[in-house]
Chain A
Amino acid sequence: MPLPSPVRPLRCGNPDCTLPEGGRCARLAEFAEPLADCPDLAREVKSTSEAPSTTAPWSGRHLDPTEADRLLWRTPARLVGVLGPYNAGKTCLMTSFFLQLANGQRGTFPYRFASSLTLHGFRELMDQAGRWTGKEEEGIVPHTTVGADTSKPRHFLHVGLRPKDALDDRHIDLLLSDLPGEWVKGWTEYVDTTATERMNFIRRCDAFILLADAGALLAREGKATDDETSILIRRVLESTQDVNPRPPLALVLSKFDRIIQSVEPPPPEKRAERDAWGARATRLRLTWPALEDARRAGLPIEVFPVSAFPCALNQGQPIGVLDPFTYVMKHADSRERWSPLEVPIPEGVRGFATLRRWRDEHAA
């Protein structure tokens, strides 16, 4: 469907575009006729009624796939698939991640908060988490539900990030999938048309955070969880086999506080090594081989023990929440960085032409 006409004078949301000033479209390589096709240009909005709208520009709730897709057209955007079975703690991890940013506890995470189209969604999750008293049997955040309208499920959270590096002037749209565990399990076990449709975004993912409930995984009866986790890793591997560069994979052992009395995690640099986990590693008889297969296939792999809510919010801090995000962003947002150009400016020289003459004279 053709896009509406661009507004005049031209306005463009892409910071690199100079078309409105008579220059070039930043996305000329993609759109040969930017006036007709480039989605970054501001376009006429056809209003259906004369009355001014009282509806805010966005809903603030989780994004649906179309909204998420529109964001992915922006540059740069990063999509992180946060996957795991039912009750693995996916939503808890993302809630705690946002709370850490909101509390100024960024640690080594090299970005600062810049925007969010899902603030309302985050607030609902945080409010719910704030009511949790710390009892294991209580839910911390509501389970992500399948929802009545499955045609356009709203299952993406959005955080805009700006690198702390003063030389990096980008705004990165980070999208996090927040899916019901049932969908993940369904897709992992049987990829039919419905599952493919729901999980269509997987091939677009720049990184994956896979969660497994550490208590369930390392318990004596944890074979089923081990199996579920291993097959999930293999499904991700299968679905991204022709994706280049290979997306990083962070395996999060969630709710680690519940097993901390019996397992002390190895130091960070050894966590992806099977032997470093000692006798407990034998309980992950299927997960480790799946991880090793993924590593052999070229996926960067790391393992993170995490406790997103070790106690009620008013009693203490989470542990390790930002680490998987730092890790996946390190890979998903890696790019060659050139050191800043240092042009020697001699004393008393002003103006570009003089500087150029001086350079030519001295270079000779």
Chain B
Amino acid sequence: MPRNIALLGGQSSGKSTLLGALGNALKAETLTHLRMDGLDADARGLQRLAQPLHHGRYPQRTKAGERIDLVVPLRTTGDYFGSDAFTLRAGDYDGEEVDRLFRDRLREWTSEWRQRALADGLLLLLRPGEKTRPPRLQSSPLPDDMARWRLLRERGASSASPSEQASVPHRSDSFFGQIYLEEAPPPPHATPTDPVAIPVELPLIELLQFIRNVRELPAGRRPRKDHERFRIALLVTAWDAVSQDWRKAGPAAFLSHHFPLLDDYLWSNFLPDDVFRFGLSATGGDLRDPDYSQAYLDMDDPAGFVEWLDPLLGIRNSRDIGMPLYWVLFGDRALGAL
């Protein structure tokens, strides 16, 4: 039975772009360790996602209700990972499907979803919002309620607007120092005037809960047996657009700060070895920018890249956007495949 990787992500999370770029890289044989092993009878999905990139444009967002199945027979190149043949079956579906599933549970939990739930590994795509919180100094003390009450009194007395007391951003160096951690530190304690964010990751968490339910994994229990385990690669897409401070801190810290509920959920339900965080830029820049779009067309080499934090070596970067796929298939051994 060929191994099956499911690609999950909400609306505009970059699923189509990743699949298109991956398809083109496979055809150009620029992935270091993977090759196409023939062509599936139905190559329409592959072509439809890959072609817009040849014109310096993003693939069109998958339309509501439309599902494109990308079926690519693959083989490893026989060097680092040995010889292994498998089929990449990644469904590209309209991103609203995850939200619809969250909203309308009576009709949307389809057999396709259940099939994805049984995949051998998951690529989970998250796109940062327009505004991302800057890194902040970790050593801020635990908030003292008495101080907060007093501040509220003073604020009321002086009628100062809360927004006047904006928090001061700090640099990631101050936050993370030079120590690389396998597990990212939790978000720093909020200052009284920090906004409270409504979590956007609830539909994805619910989807992961459904997936665990299909796989008969009880809530909150980390897998204990080998057959219960499966790998999840979390990909922060549009990583090129993320500020340098955050890129230095790495995708694990970024995810822990911007999606703390998802981070908690993964920590509670999966073994640390089964989850890995990557920053991914499938196109290396923003194709909506006409200058970059032109530069992208002129490039011979693949423009995309992947970044991750190696606990020993710090931030690592690879032009091989197949890296998350290698990791899902082969685990930590893949990180040495640079």
A interface list, Cβ under 8 A from B: 11, 13-15, 42, 52-60, 99-108, 112-116, 119-120, 122-123, 126-127, 129-130, 160-162, 169-172, 256-257, 260-261, 264-265, 267-268, 305, 307, 310-311, 313-320, 323
Complex-state Cα separation, A107 to B202, whole angstroms: 22
Residues of B contacting A130 in the complex (Cβ-Cβ under 8 angstroms): 198
Given A102-B261, A315-B162, are A264 and B149 neighbors across the interface (CB < 8 Å)? yes
**Closest chain A residue to B101 by CB distance?**
A56
Q: Is the CB of A261 within 8 A of B156?
A: yes
- Beyond A119-B205, A264-B149, whether A101 also contacts B198 by CB under 8 A is no
A113 to chain B, nearest CB (A): 4
**Closest Cβ–Cβ distance, residue A10 to chain B (whole Å):** 12
State which residues 79-106 of B face A: CB under 8 Å. Answer: 101-103, 105-106
Assess A57 versus B264: contact at CB under 8 Å? Given A162-B220, A311-B162, A317-B194. no
B218 in contact (CB, < 8 A): yes
Shortest Cβ gap from A98 to chain B (Å): 9
**The residue from A42, A53, A113, A172 contacting B264, defined by CB atoms under 8 A apart:** A113
B335 on the A face (CB < 8 A): no
Tell me if B196 and A319 are in contact (CB < 8 A). no
The answer to whether A171 touches B221, judged by C-beta atoms less than 8 angstroms apart, is yes
User: Which residues on the A side are within 8 Å of B292 (C-beta)?
Assistant: none
Question: In the complex, A260 Cα to B157 Cα: how many Å?
Answer: 10
* CB contacts between A and B, total, < 8 Å: 173
State the Cβ distance, A359 to closest chain B Cβ, in Å.
28
* Chain B residues within an 8 Å CB radius of A319: 145, 148-149, 152, 192
Show 24 A/B contacts (Cβ-Cβ < 8 Å), sorted by A: A42-B216, A54-B108, A56-B105, A101-B261, A102-B197, A104-B187, A105-B187, A105-B190, A108-B142, A113-B268, A115-B219, A115-B269, A116-B209, A162-B268, A171-B219, A171-B268, A260-B156, A305-B149, A315-B162, A316-B194, A317-B148, A318-B196, A319-B145, A319-B149
Q: Tell me, rounded to whole Å, the shortest Cβ–Cβ distance linking B104 to chain A.
A: 9
- In the complex, what distance in Å separates the CA atom of A123 from the CA atom of B193? 23
Q: How far is the CB of B114 from chain A (nearest CB, A)?
A: 8
User: CA separation between A162 and B190, bound complex, in Å?
Assistant: 22
Contacts A104-B187, A162-B220 given: A114-B264 contact, CB under 8 Å? yes
Judge if B163 is at the interface, Cβ distance under 8 Å: yes
Q: In the complex, A15 Cα to B128 Cα: how many Å?
A: 36
Give bound CA distance, A130 to B198, whole Å. 7
Among A261, A310, A323, contact of B157 (Cβ-Cβ < 8 Å): A261
Q: Could you tell me if A126 and B198 are in contact, using CB atoms closer than 8 angstroms?
A: yes
Contact B260 A102 (CB under 8 A): yes
Given A55-B106, A105-B187, are A15 and B195 neighbors across the interface (CB < 8 Å)?
Answer: no
CB distance from B258 to the nearest CB of A (A): 9
Shortest CB distance A267–B (Å): 6
Interface, chain B (partner A; CB < 8 A): 101-103, 105-111, 114, 142-143, 145-146, 148-150, 152-153, 156-157, 162-163, 186-187, 189-199, 202, 205-206, 209-210, 213, 216, 218-222, 224, 256-257, 260-261, 263-265, 267-269
| CA distance in complex: A323, B148 (Å) | 14
Cα-based distance from A116 to B216 in the complex (angstroms): 16
**How many Å from the CB of B160 to the closest CB on chain A?**
12
A142 to B105 alpha-carbon distance, docked (Å): 23
**The residue from B102, B192, B205, B224 contacting A15, defined by CB atoms under 8 A apart:** B224
Nearest A residue (CB) for B214? A57
Chain A contacts of B209 at CB under 8 A? 115-116, 119
Which of B101, B149, B210 makes the CB contact (< 8 A) with A260? B149
Whether B108 contacts A56 by the Cβ 8 Å rule is: yes
Which residue of chain A has the shortest Cβ distance to B213 in the bound complex?
A: A57
The verdict on A115 contacting B220 (CB below 8 Å), with A104-B186, A264-B150, A316-B192 known, is yes
Question: Contact between A52 and B111 (Cβ–Cβ < 8 Å)?
Answer: yes
Given contacts A130-B198, A268-B145, 11 further A-B contacts (CB under 8 A): A11-B216, A99-B196, A100-B196, A103-B187, A104-B260, A114-B219, A171-B218, A261-B157, A313-B198, A316-B194, A317-B193
With the chains together, A57 CA to B267 CA distance in Å?
23
| Residue among B107, B162, B263 with the highest chain A CB neighbour number at 10 A | B162
Contact A127 B198 (CB under 8 A): yes
In the bound complex, residues from chain A placing their C-beta under 8 Å from that of B156 are: 260-261
Measured CB to CB, the closest approach of chain B to A102, in angstroms, equals: 4
Find out whether the CB atom of B257 lies under 8 angstroms from the CB atom of A104.
yes
Select from chain B the residue with minimum beta-carbon distance to A172.
B220
**Cα distance, A314 to B163, chains bound together (Å):** 9
Q: Which of B109, B186, B195 contacts A53 (CB 8 A)?
A: B109
Give the shortest distance, in Å, between A277 (CB) and chain B (any CB). Answer: 14
Inter-chain contact A56/B219, CB cutoff 8 Å:
no
Residues of the A chain whose Cβ atoms lie less than 8 Å from the Cβ of B189:
105, 107
